[in-house]
């Protein structure tokens, strides 16, 4: 038997049992893909991150992300969880002000933000945002996500947004409508698989949360997750959408928070930073995290 160290980390929260839990395996260099998928399935969290020390001078770790059913290219909350674990339990925040992960979509640098000698937040720079149109009837789409057509806020366009994965971004008139949404999981899964969509992300400016501009919910049946509590990649894609579609002024910087997870009893808060560099929007997403479980998987092997 061999022992594999694993952590359970709640991301985008400063309270245990809030935010979005991720599995993190900090020393995964001896684990193959089959074992990674098996561990992710056993943990049964929305994503588990596996860290492998990088041989490159430009990155610190290679990182792979697995849902209980498949590997995905990028996961925001598992990146935050991994960086927070490395910064605190493994003391990286005392040695460096930044850590860089090599992912399937490219390099993702994560800043350590410290206050009074302690780690206060981790902020990841996501890959360049993109948006594109999707040809789906609004009434049909509303049915898939458990809304009425009138619940969709037509002041803003329905789009696919990207900062590592493609997310279906649906503007909704009220938080109440979002909270009451009961998606048709099988139909939504089939729709998203046919369009290569990782998650469906409902958002509204009717946040009702203090200091939060936007409130969201996220459904991801195409990758084996009915609902993701607090979603770093989808909210990064949403931030890119806001500037690329002209909803937020692309000529000025933006700093705001997004609330998510309340509908499933795991409230979380995501910090968003948007600025322009070389005529391109830069999206940064971050927050805090709390390790809640440390343990060892016992698996067959030397």
Q: Which residues are catalytic?
A: 47
**Non-local CB neighbours of 198 within 8 Å, separated by 6+ positions:** 72, 165, 166, 167, 192, 220, 222, 223, 233, 234
Tell me phi and psi for residue 112, to 5 degrees: -95, 120
Q: What is the DSSP letter of 142?
A: H
Cα distance between residue 79 and residue 103, in whole Å: 10
Q: What is the DSSP letter of 255?
A: E
The secondary structure of 17-86 as a DSSP string is T-SEEEEEES--TT--HHHHHHHHHHHTSS-EEEEEE-SSSS-SEEEEEE-SS-EES--HHHHHHHHHHH
How wide is the angle at C-alpha 193 spanned by C-alphas 192 and 196, nearest 5°? 80
Q: List Cα–Cα distances, 67 to 1, 22, 198, in angstroms.
A: 24, 10, 11
- Grouping H, G, I as helix, E, B as strand and the rest as coil, residue 103 is strand
């Amino acid at each position: 038997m061999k022992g594999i160290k694993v952590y359970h980390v709640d991301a985008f929260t400063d309270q245990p049992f809030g935010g979005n839990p991720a599995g993190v395996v900090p020393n995964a260099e001896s684990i193959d893909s089959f074992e990674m998928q098996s561990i992710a399935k056993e943990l049964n969290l929305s994503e588990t991150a596996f860290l492998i020390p990088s041989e490159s001078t430009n990155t610190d770790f290679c990182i792979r992300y697995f849902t209980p059913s498949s590997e995905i290219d990028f996961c925001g909350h598992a990146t935050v969880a991994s960086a927070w674990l490395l910064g605190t339990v493994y003391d990286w925040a005392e040695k460096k002000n930044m850590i860089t992960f090599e992912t399937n979509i490219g390099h993702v640098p994560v800043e350590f933000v410290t206050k009074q000698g302690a780690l206060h937040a981790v902020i990841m720079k996501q890959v360049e945002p993109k948006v594109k149109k999707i040809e789906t009837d609004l009434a049909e789409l509303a049915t898939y996500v458990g809304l009425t057509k009138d619940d969709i806020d037509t002041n803003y366009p329905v789009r696919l947004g990207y900062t590592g994965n493609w997310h279906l971004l649906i503007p909704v008139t009220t938080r109440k409508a979002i909270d009451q949404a009961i998606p048709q999981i099988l139909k939504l899964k089939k729709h998203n698989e046919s369009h290569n969509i990782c998650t469906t992300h409902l958002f509204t400016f009717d946040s009702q949360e203090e200091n939060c501009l936007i409130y969201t919910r996220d459904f991801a049946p195409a990758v084996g997750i009915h609902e993701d509590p607090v979603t770093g990649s989808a909210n990064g894609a949403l931030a890119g959408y806001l500037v690329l579609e002209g909803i937020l002024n692309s000529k000025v910087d933006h700093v705001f928070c997004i609330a998510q997870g309340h509908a499933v009893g795991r409230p979380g808060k995501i910090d968003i930073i948007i600025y322009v560099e070389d005529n391109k929007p830069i999206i940064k997403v971050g927050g805090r995290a709390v390790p809640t479980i440390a343990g060892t998987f016992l698996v067959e092997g030397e």
